Amino acid sequence: MKFRVTPLNIVGAIALGLVVFNILSPKDTTPRHVDMSGFYLLILACLIIVTFITDLIFRAILKDLRKIWIIESVFIIFTAILIIILQKAI
């Protein structure tokens, strides 16, 4: 099976790196440490699971890598815009 990098893989890897960095880094000595509570780490972990499952669904439906990149990029942009709108509304 050939591994294909997709936008949701990149988002999942960045989120996983942020979770691991926040869990393993000492809180007092790390420069530019983003202080995240356990609740936000849990939400980020759920995001990793959702991106993994969504990526599998897109790969099963679409076979062309170019179409996967376009649709997943639009999905990420749409999700980011929706999150920003919901944050402004609350």
The pLDDT of residue 89 is 84
Query: How many domains does the structure of the chain reveal?
Result: 1
Task: Please check whether residue 2 lies inside any domain of the structure.
Answer: no
pLDDT tens digits, residue range 41-52?
Answer: 888 888 899 999
The pLDDT of residue 7 is 92
Q: Residue 44's CB: how many other CB atoms inside 10 A?
A: 15
Task: Please check whether residue 62 lies inside any domain of the structure.
Answer: yes
Contact between 36 and 22 (Cβ < 8 Å): yes
Task: Please check whether residue 26 lies inside any domain of the structure.
Answer: yes
Task: Please check whether residue 80 lies inside any domain of the structure.
Answer: yes
The pLDDT of residue 74 is 95
Question: In terms of pTM, does the model score above 0.75?
Answer: yes
pLDDT tens digits, residue range 27-77?
Answer: 666 566 566 677 888 888 888 999 999 999 988 998 888 999 999 999 999
Residue 28's SS3 state is coil
Task: Please check whether residue 1 lies inside any domain of the structure.
Answer: no
Task: Please check whether residue 48 lies inside any domain of the structure.
Answer: yes
Task: Please check whether residue 21 lies inside any domain of the structure.
Answer: yes
**Which letter, b or e, does each residue of 45-75 get, where b requires 16 or more Cβ atoms within 10 Å of its Cβ?**
eebbeebeebbeebeeebeeeeebbeebeeb
Q: Residue 13's CB: how many other CB atoms inside 10 A?
A: 13
The pLDDT of residue 31 is 65
Structural domain that includes position 33: 7-89
